[in-house]
Amino acid sequence: MTTLDDLPLREELRGSSPYGAPQAAVPVALNVNENTHGIPESVAHDIVTSVAGAVLGLNRYPDREFRELRQAFANYLGHGLSAEQIWAANGSNEVLQQILLAFGGPGRSLMSFTPTYSMYPLLAAGTMTRWVAAERDERFELSPETVRRAIEVEQPDVVFLCSPNNPTGTRLGLDTIRAAYDAAPGMLVVDEAYAEFSDPGTPSALELLPGRERLIVSRTMSKAFAFAGARVGYLAADSAVTDALRLVRLPYHLSALTQAAALAALRHSDEMLAVVDDIRQQRGRIADGLESLGYTTYASGSNFVLFGGVPDTKVLFEGLLERGILIRDVGIEAHMRVSAGSETETTAFLEAMSALTS
């Protein structure tokens, strides 16, 4: 049987593992930060109607510039953004990949602060961009001084800052983002995939876009919009950035079906986001419940909680799995991550944790 070793694979990819999270058919899946509340039925009907209408025109290529969708994203984000400042792709991972294709590549580097989203080094490898991992402060925080010092030493071509950070949930202050931008010689990307789950009034890096042509703010519909299966990510930046991404995108990369589904969902943004407050409440229940059991939790602005003090992550993972509950071992010693699910799912998780801890 042929193996990877028998193929002329690029040398820097040898020995690598693809991105992946455990998949299992369980009653309570809280391992990949999905929005477990789902899409409201009335909204689902409108999405289906919109997609069905798009099917009638599938003999033609879709709008290559997805102009209507870009305007809808600009309207949703606000902050005086125009359609020309918006870009979208098949999930925020493709958005980030396109950024590296345009601004990274051979002879260039990508820096981020670990632990952070595990796709970043994989995206770097796939685009032949050198990966540079810098360290965070205590409790996974990130101060302006730490960011500035690391960037000044390494002089990376691209910097990714995840806020709120996956897998820790840590929010970044605008002072840290300003410090990173001022120190960075190249592009600064603030990955706000979980921004909608932050407490009301939490500032977004979108506020910093005016006058900062090297700043990019990335978002996704996968999380708060319960659209993980639709694969829609987007960004806001100076219009020159979207011009750069046109140079590396594949032709007609956003299908007519994807555009129709996303437009329909955005028409119902208030309904789609109505469950966010409940998810925040479940996040709080999880943190309080785990603290009462003796675990250490970290302040989270996302739809998940990272907790420490786990004697054996493999034993806990398997113990929960036996009870039909799936959470995530994120590779941080003695720590695990759990998504905030519905009230019923959260209750099931906390009861299982209580039984396994006693």
CATH number at residue 53: 3.40.640.10
Judge whether 16 lies within some domain: no
Query: pLDDT, tens digit, for every residue of 278-305?
Result: 999 999 999 999 999 999 999 999 999 9
The enclosing H or E element of 352 equals helix 343-357
Q: What is the pLDDT of residue 18?
A: 83
Q: How does residue 4 score in pLDDT terms, banded at 50, 70 and 90?
A: confident
Residue 222 and residue 341 in one domain: no
Look at residue 24 and tell me whether its pLDDT is greater than 80: no
Residue that finishes a domain, picked among 238, 268, 298: 268
Same domain for 57 and 188?
A: yes
Summarised one tens digit per residue, pLDDT across range 173-184 is 999 999 999 999
Q: What's the number of CA atoms in the CB half-sphere (13 Å) around residue 162?
A: 26
Number of domains in the chain: 2
DSSP 8-state assignment for residue 251: T
> Can you tell me the distance from the alpha carbon of 284 to that of 304, in angstroms, rounded to the nearest whole number?
10
Q: What is the mean pLDDT of residues 82-109?
A: 98
- Distance separating the N- and C-terminal Cα atoms of the chain: 48
User: What average pLDDT does the structure give for the chain?
Assistant: 96
Look up the domain containing 63 and give its range: 41-268
**Do 224 and 78 sit in the same domain of this protein?**
yes
Strands (DSSP E) contained in the chain are: 28-29, 86-89, 109-114, 130-135, 158-162, 187-191, 215-220, 233-237, 296-297, 304-308, 325-326, 335-339
Q: Which of 268, 291, 306 is the last residue of a domain?
A: 268
Q: Which three-class secondary structure state does DSSP give residue 3? A: coil
pTM of the model: 0.95
Kindly tell me if the per-residue pLDDT of 209 is higher than 90.
Answer: yes
Same-domain pairing of 198 and 284: no
